[in-house]
Amino acid sequence: MELSSWRNRSPGDLSVLLPEITAGDPAQAVDAAKIAATAWAKTPLAERCERLQRAQRLIDATRERLAEQITIETGKPLTEARGELAAVIAKFDLTIADANDCLAEHPAPGGPHPALVRRRPRGPVAVIGPFNFPLHLGHGAIVAHLIAGNPVIFKPSPLAASVAGEYGAIMASAFPSGVFQLMQGGAPEGEVLCLDPRIRSVCFTGSVPVGRALAKALAEDYSKDLALELGGSNSVIVCADADLEKAAMAVAEGACLTAGQRCNATSRVIVEKPVARDFERLLLAALTAYRPGDPLLPATKLGPLINAAAAARYDKLLAETPGEWLLPGGFAPEIAGKRGYYVHPAVIHRAGNYFADSETFVPILSLQVAPDMDEAVRLQNATVFGLTASIFTRSRERFQQIGDQLTVGNLYANLPTTFSPSTLPFGGLRDSGNGRPGGQGFIRFTTNEQAVQWTGLDA
């Protein structure tokens, strides 16, 4: 394969050109991982934990630099980038705790012979990461597979290649050769890596079309594990008894964090008719806090979109989405003398279910009015996705009644759809994923289960 190279521009300041990145060779990376696999699988769990803790200390020592690099390369506001680094550092401890439970051998009494169930390393792993959480989302799968005894090849998004490169160098320094590798590249390199028969697990975070194509391509290799974290069209249901101010603030936050470029971002809000006017007024007021700003400033809540393609998608949605624009949105080509992909949040009313079957990935909200909760449930479920939903109500009974009817992997009461702590599983249903959630407990997908029984053995 012919290697390619590229340079990213900072989406918050297009005059900033980042260092050149060169794509790697998937075959060479898998060769190295395969060589390392046997020794790493035999490495005691305690030593694997010690190496992860070494990597944790190294990342903690450079957390502010990594956060700033995330902001410069992706446009994510600095406060969010710092939060991402905090999650990366905390993930080590959470994963080690999971490992000490999930990777332990368990006796299996009650059978005709002594028996136990144990977990066996699976072999080399490909982790394909996104740009919006360039470290955290890939990192969760990386540390889980490493502690399980699997060598990992991490291919980050080419849009976040520079910061991922620094993270990769830090991680690799804590492990034996070939155990952790970062391989740069785009879709061609990622495809070759994932389809290599020596790769025994694939963890992919990205779009539904790519995830579906990957699942089809891997269908014949049915022993290869595939974990898909895909898109979402996530809604907030606002009941008539809700705290409307709290709901409006949560919707604004869910729509605007990372400029709407999150799989769990809020793109739809469904309001019960008696409170629709009051909620609309409070929502528009809440959105005034999200003005486009320089992402390197700690006060900025709304940074730029990632690139020109995202800006074009935003522009197309403004031009073609049917309905009444309550907040018209628009571009802010220059902020504090810096040119970038800056946009304003937008809200459209009476858009039907226009956003239900597509992921907008920009700060545009559809506001729908439902005459009752039966219609609100119907509108929420009329989508191909099933990632997150939040219900705003003061009634536990109402929350449970509505929540039991929603087909989502993550259900919240009175919280933003983006509130997804690492202490819980995280994954989607339908087109949002395939039942291999990230977050806590992901480690159970990193090994093969083996049943062992015996008789006639010496003590």
Question: CA-CA distances (angstroms) from residue 168 to 139, 175, 179?
Answer: 10, 11, 12
Listed residue (445, 419, 362) closest to 87, CA to CA? 419
Question: CA-CA distances (angstroms) from residue 279 to 282, 347, 395?
Answer: 5, 13, 18
Structure tokens at 458: 């010496």
Task: Give the count of alpha carbons within 13 A of 174, CB side only.
Answer: 20
Residues 6+ apart with CB under 8 A from 313: 360, 361, 362
Residue listed under structure tokens 């226009």: 354
Listed residue (212, 183, 210) closest to 199, CA to CA? 183
CB burial class (10 A; 0-12, 13-18, 19+) of residue 22?
exposed
Active-site residue flag, 2 = no
Structure tokens at 304: 């730029």
- Among 263, 272, 280, 359, the active-site one is 263
Q: Coil, strand, or helix at residue 447?
A: strand
∠ CA 346-351-353, rounded to 5°: 115
d(C-alpha 405, C-alpha 235), whole Å: 14
**What's the one-letter identity of residue 127?**
V
d(C-alpha 100, C-alpha 352), whole Å: 49
Q: Which residue spans within 217-293 are E strands per DSSP?
A: 225-229, 234-238, 266-272
Question: CA-CA distances (angstroms) from residue 244 to 7, 35, 240, 278, 288?
Answer: 45, 58, 9, 8, 16
Active-site residue flag, 102 = no
- Among 80, 229, 272, 280, the active-site one is 229
d(C-alpha 154, C-alpha 138), whole Å: 8
* 294 within 8 A of 378, measured Cβ to Cβ: no
* 324 within 8 A of 220, measured Cβ to Cβ: no
Maximum distance among all Cα pairs of the chain, rounded to whole angstroms: 79
Listed residue (40, 61, 33) closest to 166, CA to CA? 61
Active-site positions read 229, 263
